[in-house]
Amino acid sequence: MNTSPYPHLQQQSARPVTLGDLRAMKNSGDRIACLTAYDASFAALEDRAGVDVVLVGDSLGMVVQGGASTTGVTLDDMVYHSRITAAGLSRAFLMTDLPFLTYATPQAALSAAHRLMAEGQAKMVKIEGGAEIVETVDFLTTYGVPVCAHLGLRPQMVHKLGGFKVQGRDAADAETILADAKRMEAAGADIVLLECVPSSLGARVAAALSIPVIGIGAGPDTDGQILVIYDILGLSPGKKPRFVQNFMADADSLDTATADYVAAVKSRAYPRDEHGFK
């Protein structure tokens, strides 16, 4: 029975994407197309376009709430946006961010993940961190919580980093990110998300792991790509990061632009070399 309050927004026929499907896509070399969404209408747009994974990102603190960073986003905010995004989906796999400082201990992470999955209907949680979260990833996955580990640029660290900066340019930093990615896989993570690293490092991490590696500003050789929906629709004001492409520029509707993004990821037309970092 369809329990969505927005049945008119959902595709009725498509089989939901599973983690097994995403792993099979990695193995067959089929690119995984991902986008952020924060509500039912954009979720339904993305579902219709064939997006495989929808992320309710804590980027909502910036693009929806108008903040300068993601650190002001609360768990209640994420639960609310996850629930209303889930209401627009029938096929895409729903991943939701654990917000800043809600996973400082494994037990806190488990409680927060429980809220995102039970109330927010997320199928996976995304967590930012390196070596310090390996124990937490292990704990969550032991209890059956699918985890995406977010490495490279971790936006929740913006105040510590002094800005949104490319990571892993230095050889030692690159080795740390690669080693952390392997640790995440060993701890049970099902996906690694890699943000703003040199394209060469994106390729190395994807080649070294058997779980899918999704990139944003990580070059063309990761197993999938993710962007913020408002960025691909040209809605975000100001200077764009190098990896953003406005798919609305040549499209006559939101549906066409979103489907063009999916097609470009699948055909490897996006991202191109110029979208990557050295």
Beta carbon of residue 3, minimum distance to ligand KIV (angstroms, whole number): 27
Write out the residues near ligand KIV by the rule CB under 6 A.
36, 55, 57-59, 97, 193, 195, 216, 226, 228
Beta carbon of residue 55, minimum distance to ligand KIV (angstroms, whole number): 6
Residue 195 bears catalytic tag: yes
Distance from C-alpha of 124 to C-alpha of 55, rounded to nearest angstrom:
9
Would you state the structure tokens that stand for residue 19, as one six-digit string?
A: 């983690």
Neighbour count for residue 63 (Cβ, 10 Å):
18
Beta carbon of residue 129, minimum distance to ligand KIV (angstroms, whole number): 13
Of residues 13 and 66, the one with the C-beta less far from ligand KIV: 66
Sign of the Cα pseudo-torsion (128, 130, 133, 135, in order): positive
Partnered with residue 54 across adjacent β-strands are 35, 94
Of residues 10 and 59, the one with the C-beta less far from ligand KIV: 59
> Which listed residue (46, 128, 185, 195) is catalytic?
195
Rg of the chain taking only CA atoms, in angstroms? 17
Neighbour count for residue 160 (Cβ, 10 Å):
7
Beta carbon of residue 36, minimum distance to ligand KIV (angstroms, whole number): 4
Residues with a known catalytic role = 195
